Amino acid sequence: MLNAANIGLAMLALALSAVFTPAVIRLCSRLRAFDAPCARKVHRREVPRLGGVGLFIALSLGMTAAGFAALAGWIEIPAQYVRLMPVIYLGLCGYFFIGFWDDLRSLPAWPRLIAQLAVASMVVLLGWGAGLRITAAFGHYVFPAWLSFIVSVVWIAGVVNCFNWIDGLDGLAAGLGLIAALAFFALVVLKPGLPNTALTAALCALIIGALLGFLPYNFYPARTFIGDGGAFSLGYMLAVVSVVGLFKTAAVISFLLPVLILALPIGDTLFAILRRLARGEPVTAPDNQHIHHRILALFSRRYRRALALGPRSSEAMLAEARAHRNTVLALYAFAALFAALAVGMGIRA
């Protein structure tokens, strides 16, 4: 629902993100908390890597404000769903701190995954009675309790990792998250009668506002990266929005809508897993064959020609910048197409 309360939440999150992100950038500069260039990465300079802290603060304070607004009656969220907000916030803190620690110390892949599954399990168990779980598929098959738990945990942890894996270019993860949040919000506004409408709308408004405040610092050339802390937080919030809202629709396509909206990060992750399995490599082994790497290579042909003039020539640097931006914008367009398709299908269902 598009009302003054949700607009206010979005504006609050935007202001918080716009204030705290540059503060985090300055702190990173003082602490020398930079992401250094390497062969697998596309950036050629040191960039502050903890920008996701600003995003987390905006979401945290925004959720606190939303909770008080709901208790005061300014947002009409039913009491059982207001009780979900501390659970959602607890999960947000858990995922952020896993990612933040990974940004600082580079955690091994399997312990990190186990921690992610543990946080997702905690969130699903604590929110079980209030509906924070996936209960059915395609409007027909109702999951038994044990399968509902497994599907819900795998979905939350899976979306978190999808956004972490696709975070390879300036502004890519944040921009795709913004498109997804706008699609979720559009379905809430244009499809009256969806379950948990007020809570879903409030969470979407917070995500949209926080990302709008963050993206100017993250788009190419990025002044800061979202980092694992930010990518984990973003993926978690979008996963929760889909579980609380869209998976609850009593339509055959209910299971398909969130997957379509998040098709690009999900598809990229699935292809990465299959690619590594086919090569006999560990699933967690990093590579430079993600979809954004491949499209960047296509747009970089002009850059490679310009290198003949020297990598620091003005033409080479301009070509590199255009290749990077065009790749991100192309992926935005693909994501927006899938999101628009999902919204159209959801409205007609």
What is the secondary structure of 23-58 as a DSSP string? HHHHHHHHHT-EE---TT----S-EE--THHHHHHH
**pLDDT greater at residue 303 or residue 167:** 167
Work out how many domains the chain is built from and give that number. 1
Hey, what's the torsion of the CAs at 245, 247, 253, 258, to 10 degrees? 80
pLDDT at residue number 186: 92
pLDDT at residue number 71: 83
User: Which residue type occupies 284?
Assistant: T
For residue 200, tell me if it sits in a domain: yes
For residue 271, tell me if it sits in a domain: no
Q: What is the pLDDT of residues 263-317, one digit of tens each?
A: 999 999 999 899 888 888 888 877 788 898 888 888 776 666 655 555 555 666 6
**Residue 137 host element (H or E):** strand 136-137
Range of the domain at 38: 4-253
Tokens linked to 250: 């009593």
Cβ distance 33 to 193 under 8 Å?
Answer: no
For residue 349, tell me if it sits in a domain: no
Q: What is the rounded distance in angstroms from the CA atom of residue 71 to the CA atom of residue 327?
A: 44
pLDDT band at 41 (very low <50, low <70, confident <90, very high): low
**pLDDT greater at residue 34 or residue 91:** 91
Q: What is the pLDDT of residues 209-252, one digit of tens each?
A: 999 999 999 998 899 999 999 999 999 999 999 998 877 655 55
- Using the predicted structure, report yes or no on whether residue 174 has a pLDDT greater than 90: yes
State the distance between the two ends of the chain, measured CA to CA, in whole angstroms.
Answer: 18
Q: What is the rounded distance in angstroms from the CA atom of residue 260 to the CA atom of residue 38?
A: 33
For the chain, give the mean pLDDT. 87
**Percent of the residues in the chain that have a pLDDT greater than 70, as a whole number:** 88
Longest dimension (CA), the chain: 65
For residue 321, tell me if it sits in a domain: no
Average pLDDT rounded to a whole number, residues 66-81: 82
**Residue 321 host element (H or E):** helix 314-348
CA distances from 287 to 273, 282, 290, 291, 292 (A): 11, 11, 7, 11, 12
For residue 27, tell me if it sits in a domain: yes
For residue 335, tell me if it sits in a domain: no
Strand partners, 137: 141
Cβ distance 5 to 69 under 8 Å?
Answer: yes
SS3 213: helix
Closest CA to 240 of 76, 111, 123: 123
**Percent of the residues in the chain that have a pLDDT greater than 90, as a whole number:** 56
For residue 40, tell me if it sits in a domain: yes
User: Which residue type occupies 247?
Assistant: F
For residue 291, tell me if it sits in a domain: no
pLDDT at residue number 284: 80
